Amino acid sequence: MEYIYAAMILHSAEKDINEENVKSIIEAAGIDADEARVKALIAALEDVDIEEAIETAAVAAAAPVAAAPVAAEAEEEEEEEEEEEEAAEEEAAAGLGALFG
C-alpha cells in the first residue's frame, strides 16, 4: 500500500511518478524500497489517468452512502405495512371470535 501512497503523494505534489521519486518517498518513510515493486507500480500506472481514477473511486464510494437513506425509508415503509397487516389479522380474528363466543 505504501507504494500506492507514494504515487498519490507525487501526484498531489504534481511531481513525476517515476522510479526515483517513488523510491525516495518510500525511503523517506523509513522503509526499504523493493525495486521490483517500484518497477511494477510504475508499469501499472503507465496508462492510468490518476485524476479520473480518483473521481471514479469517489463516485463509487458515495453511491452506497447516498443509497442508505433510501434503503432506510423503504425499510420503514415495509415495517409499517407489516404492522398494518398484523392489525388487520387481529381484527379479523376478533371478528371470528365474536361469532363463536
| Shared domain check, 69 and 36 | no
pLDDT score of 63 more than 70: no
pLDDT score of 16 more than 90: yes
Q: Could you tell me if residue 87 is inside a domain?
A: yes
pLDDT tens digits for 88-99?
Answer: 777 766 665 555
Find the CATH number of the domain harbouring 14.
Answer: 1.10.10.1410
| pLDDT for position 94 | 63
Q: Could you tell me if residue 53 is inside a domain?
A: no
Q: How many CA atoms lie within 13 A of 101 on its CB side?
A: 6
| Shared domain check, 75 and 40 | no
| Shared domain check, 44 and 68 | no
| Shared domain check, 73 and 38 | no
Number of domains in the chain: 2
Q: How confident is the model at residue 58 (pLDDT cuts 50, 70, 90)?
A: confident
| pLDDT for position 6 | 94
| pLDDT for position 66 | 61
- As to burial, measured by CB atoms within 10 angstroms (0-12 exposed, 13-18 middle, 19+ buried), residue 25 is buried
Q: Could you tell me if residue 57 is inside a domain?
A: no
Which positions ≥6 away from 32 have C-beta within 8 Å? 26
Q: In this structure, are residues 50 and 11 in contact, taking their beta carbons and an 8 Å threshold? A: yes
Domain boundaries, position 79: 64-101
| pLDDT for position 5 | 92
Residue-level length of the chain = 101
